[in-house]
Structure 1
Amino acid sequence: MNSADTESGRSNANRGLAPLTCACGRCGQLFAYEDRLMLAELAVCDACSDAFSLCVDCNAWTLLTELDDENSCNACRQAALPIQAYAYKPEPVFFGTGSKLFLGLELELNLEERSCDLPTLAGACLQILPYCYAKRDRSIRYGFELVSHPATLNYHRAAWSQALPAWNRIRQTHRFCCAGQTGIHVHLSKAFFSASELAKLVYFCNQPTNRDFLAAIGQRPLGHWSRSEAGGIKQALSGEYDRYRVLNCNPAATVELRLFNGSERWEDILKNLEFADAIGHWIKQPDCRPGCDYRHFLAWLLGNPQPSGGYACLSDFVRQHLDSL
């Protein structure tokens, strides 16, 4: 309230006139002008102020009825298209043949500069990777999550190989800062595994002797977002544990590997997809028994021509980092 408003109110009071009032822009009730609150370009009374909240995206006061579950206003939701809300879960479309193991990629993309037009960037990504969709994620400072529909490893390879020239141009144009600030998650179709195979996978991801190996493969320390802790297999498989584990078993149709450091480099993305596919197939091997650790996995991966050739990017990474493993 400016000084003119104050003086006007005082002069009316001194003259015995009624103090200045205004009508609430929401309920219409009259109230003292000096008590007005300007919200969403409306002068509202104190009682009606509870009907407004700040939009999380534009920081403007907005009626609660115009905010979605993530406190984003209608205008920001429209401007953010094609970036969907965090809760967006379309009906899965399965891509690829030749394997019963389908992988879902979640790639968290964080940008260094806020000058980037996120909807335009997301649209460019979806144009070259049409089997993906984009969604918001509050853990990402400024960016979005690029999520694929479930696909076989070979389909992921083919789709990204075709998109790679355009993807690299996007990387050159926009300054991503993913490593250390975001993660890559890979979902594996739960139907691919028997109950005993899932139990072996849970045990492998929580076995203390495997933790340094998992951190090396994921290229980041295991921590709050991807814990590896000895615990009951039944609890993990029944969803009684929180999702912040190396292996999250809570989703109904998938298990989720959460150990990977964020990256926009295709070499890192492919290595992570290959590891998910490889560990899924190794767990099903007859000689993979409960208690097998990472050395048994590496012997299978590197000691046989078929796995080694089928997972060339992962195999090269392991050979380069054998000293740390």
Structure 2
Amino acid sequence: MPELLDAPALCSTCSPPLPDNPPPSEPALQCPDCDERAFCEDCGEQATETHETVNDGVLCTACTRRWSECEYCARYTTTGEATVGGDIVCDTCHLDHYWRCSDCRLLSRYLRSVDSGDEVCRDCQSHYRECSDCDYLTTSDDYCSSCYRDRRDDYIHDYSYKPDPYFHGQGPVFLGLELEIKTLGRSLQACAEIAADHLGDLGYLKEDGSIGYGGGFEIVTHPMSYEWAIAEFPWNMLRELRIRGAYVDDHVGIHVHVSRAGFDSPAHVYRWMKFFYRNETQAVRLARRRSDDWASFTSETRADIAKFAKGERFGHGRYQAINVNPEDTFEVRIFASSLHSQQVQAALAFIAASVEYTRTLTAGDVARRRGWEWTVFVTWVRAHRIYLPLLAEMETLQCAS
């Protein structure tokens, strides 16, 4: 019995003797090291090895299996959200250090901006292309929306753009072509580059309200003589534009400006406009459309031809078959747009031919030789081979008689 009284008191947790040799009547005493050990937040037992939780508590090693370790702060949590790496981030670290991917909706510390305004994680970047000019991601072929607009503006001017005219060929009659086209999606940039490269100093590209912003453009040429246009205009450009995705529909047209200076006199202007309006049916067929909204044949305009021939420029608006508003030209607006050479050439040819046909038309021609009639004009066109594109289109559209 004396030996038991002399036995050292042991720590109830780790077993080594307790310091100061307390009496064995207090067997639950612990050594200082064990006395400082915390209790597990999950099971309530003292933890030999502790793991910190987001609530500033501790877990024993066994209980960590039921919790999730935050990938950022390495503390344990029972909530949190998944990250792109497949781990969990606690709520506090989520708010301070993570952002949600717009595509996969998982959390990530690193996101890339997309030109749509979204932000995506590294795993989702593979669904996009990098803009060729900046760090943004894009779903387009080459450029983000911002850089695309900047590059587009290098080629397509706003509607008010109007440089000084540069004349091509020999007058006195000069024609200016305005060809409205549309494009598919992001082919606008490629089509604009094609058109600008082919045109060179012959013309330029503009926005137009009938096309709509970003959906196409208007090809505008400087003044050309008809002969020069047929020989020198880059006609193969139209085919290349078609291949690249340009197209036309009922909302776009061809406008042809003819120089006022190309007419001999007010009487010549009168004869030309009179011939034009008297043959409305055939002109509309040749134009491949009737557009009362954009190129109207009105009885009011027809009644005022004499005033317009003498220089009156206003009264019925510009959306007439022949717009008399421009100071230096008459604008013929009747034609449907086209990306086929014969149809565009025929539009130019019709204006040039009608001006020349009416230049020498006399009262005797009208009275005795039916000079106002379309069939007589067609006969005249057949005799002037320079207008073959017009004759070919007339035959195609069955208005050559």
* TM-score range normalised by the length of the shorter chain: 0.5 to 0.7
Alpha carbons 1:184, 1:263 under 8 Å: kept: yes
Q: Is the aligned partner of 1:259 residue 2:340?
A: no
Find the aligned partners of 1:159 and 1:77 in 2 and give their Cα distance.
Answer: 31
The match for 1:297 is 377
The match for 1:276 is 351
Runs of 4+ aligned structure 1 residues displaced above 6 Å come to: none
Query: What's the secondary structure of 2:347's corresponding residue?
Result: helix
Alpha carbons 1:235, 1:241 under 8 Å: kept: no
Shift of 1:320: 3.5
Find the aligned partners of 1:234 and 1:214 in 2 and give their Cα distance.
Answer: 20
Asked which structure has the greater RCO (Cα within 8 Å, sep 6+), the reply is 1
Alpha carbons 2:394, 2:400 under 8 Å: kept: no
Instruction: Report the AA paired with residue 375 of structure 2.
Output: R
Give the RMSD, CA atoms, in angstroms.
2.6
Cα distance per residue 1:186-226 (max 9 Å; x no partner) = 1111011111111122222323xx12101111011242211
Q: Is the aligned partner of 1:232 residue 2:308?
A: no
**TM (normalized to structure 1)?**
0.68
Query: What's the secondary structure of 2:343's corresponding residue?
Result: helix
Find the aligned partners of 1:178 and 1:77 in 2 and give their Cα distance.
Answer: 25
- Correspondences of 1:1-325 after superposition (within 5 Å): 76=149, 79-97=152-170, 99-111=171-183, 113-118=184-189, 120-130=190-200, 131-141=202-212, 142-160=215-233, 163-174=234-245, 176-193=246-263, 194-207=265-278, 210-230=279-299, 231-237=303-309, 238-239=312-313, 240-287=315-362, 289=366, 292-302=372-382, 304=383, 307=384, 309-322=385-398
Alpha carbons 2:253, 2:336 under 8 Å: kept: yes
Residues 122 and 314 (structure 1), Cα distance of their counterparts in 2 relative to 1, 3 Å cut: same
Residues 166 and 76 (structure 1), Cα distance of their counterparts in 2 relative to 1, 3 Å cut: closer
Find the aligned partners of 1:145 and 1:263 in 2 and give their Cα distance.
Answer: 12
Find the aligned partners of 2:188 and 2:182 in 1 and give their Cα distance.
Answer: 13
Find the aligned partners of 1:234 and 1:110 in 2 and give their Cα distance.
Answer: 37
Question: Which segments of 5 or more consecutive residues in structure 1 lack a partner in the other structure?
Answer: 1-72
Moved more, 285-294 or 125-134: 285-294
**TM (normalized to structure 2)?**
0.56
Find the aligned partners of 1:164 and 1:92 in 2 and give their Cα distance.
Answer: 21
Query: What's the secondary structure of 2:187's corresponding residue?
Result: coil
Q: Which has the higher helix share?
A: 1
Query: What's the secondary structure of 1:129's corresponding residue?
Result: helix
Alpha carbons 2:391, 2:400 under 8 Å: kept: no
User: Among the aligned pairs, what percent are the same residue?
Assistant: 26
Question: Which segments of 5 or more consecutive residues in structure 2 lack a partner in the other structure?
Answer: 1-145
Find the aligned partners of 1:139 and 1:223 in 2 and give their Cα distance.
Answer: 14
Shift of 1:298: 1.8
Residues 166 and 186 (structure 1), Cα distance of their counterparts in 2 relative to 1, 3 Å cut: closer
Residues 225 and 83 (structure 1), Cα distance of their counterparts in 2 relative to 1, 3 Å cut: same
Query: What's the secondary structure of 1:250's corresponding residue?
Result: coil
Alpha carbons 1:103, 1:189 under 8 Å: kept: yes
Aligned length: 242
Find the aligned partners of 1:250 and 1:165 in 2 and give their Cα distance.
Answer: 32
Find the aligned partners of 2:154 and 2:355 in 1 and give their Cα distance.
Answer: 35
Cα distance per residue 1:285-312 (max 9 Å; x no partner) = 233559723233223222x2xx1x1111
Find the aligned partners of 2:224 and 2:328 in 1 and give their Cα distance.
Answer: 14
